[in-house]
Amino acid sequence: MARLAVLGATGRTGQEIVRRAIEAGHDVTALVRRPEALPVRDALLTVVVGDARDKDTIRSIAQGQDAVIASLGRPESGRTKDEIDDSQPVDVCEVSTRHLLTVGSSVGLRRIVLMSTHGAGSSNDGSPYVVKLRDMVGNRVFDKDRMEQQLLDTDTEIAWTVIRNPYIYEGPLGTPHAVHEKIVLDETSRITYADLATFAIGEALQPQHPNTFLTITEPLTGSAAR
């Protein structure tokens, strides 16, 4: 079995990644700021308390890992602009990615998977879905923009994959879905936590899309499908 580190393990996606990696028999190291926010406990799980923006923390947690999955970012607190506080700048994705790229290879790290969002980077396509998203949570997406740009600007031996998700919901594993390098989404676009986490783990440990930006979604049912 593999050794896998998860950054942002207390978020809903991060928790699902940790849980499913352990169920698959992998040794998991979870980086958290608040250990009480991670309900998972298992003999295969090592919990490390620290800040993903700290270079020494990233160097330590990357040591000896087969892959690192980063599921970072300030969580949303609602579904509308009025419900979500996006007033503060965010930099955790940008800074942690810079550290992974600069110190990861020095400790033997060869594989990272970064969770982004559709609407960041080259998927900022001006579609109604993306315009609305960036209006609602601009600072969160700007952090993803900078994270993705660093991958393009950095010469590294570490193979990376960026997974851009639409709306994530509670649902069964194995709901029909696909990955796309380019697609226009709409408000019907979605993916289950189970499928997103399972895909991220598979891509980290048996990569099919190295050095690629991907969007994962179930089949569209709204205007973008026509």
pLDDT tens, residue by residue, 102-152: 999 899 999 999 999 999 999 999 999 999 999 999 899 999 999 999 999
pLDDT given at position 221 = 80
Three-state DSSP class for residue 225: helix
For 86-104, what is each residue's pLDDT tens digit? 678 899 999 999 999 999 9
224's CB contacts (< 8 A; 6+ apart) are 127, 129, 183, 184, 185, 186, 188, 189
Encode pLDDT of 49-92 as tens digits: 999 999 999 999 999 999 999 999 866 555 666 555 667 889 99
Give the chain's largest Cα–Cα span.
49
What's the confidence (pLDDT) of residue 11? 95
Residue 222 has pLDDT above 70, yes or no: no
Query: In the predicted model, what is the mean pLDDT of residues 202-211?
Result: 97
Q: What is the pTM of this model?
A: 0.94
Give the percent of the chain with pLDDT over 90. Answer: 87
CB under 8 Å to 185, separation ≥6 — which residues?
118, 127, 129, 130, 166, 215, 217, 220, 224
Q: What class does CATH assign to 3-225?
A: alpha beta
Any idea where the domains of the chain sit in the sequence?
A: 3-225
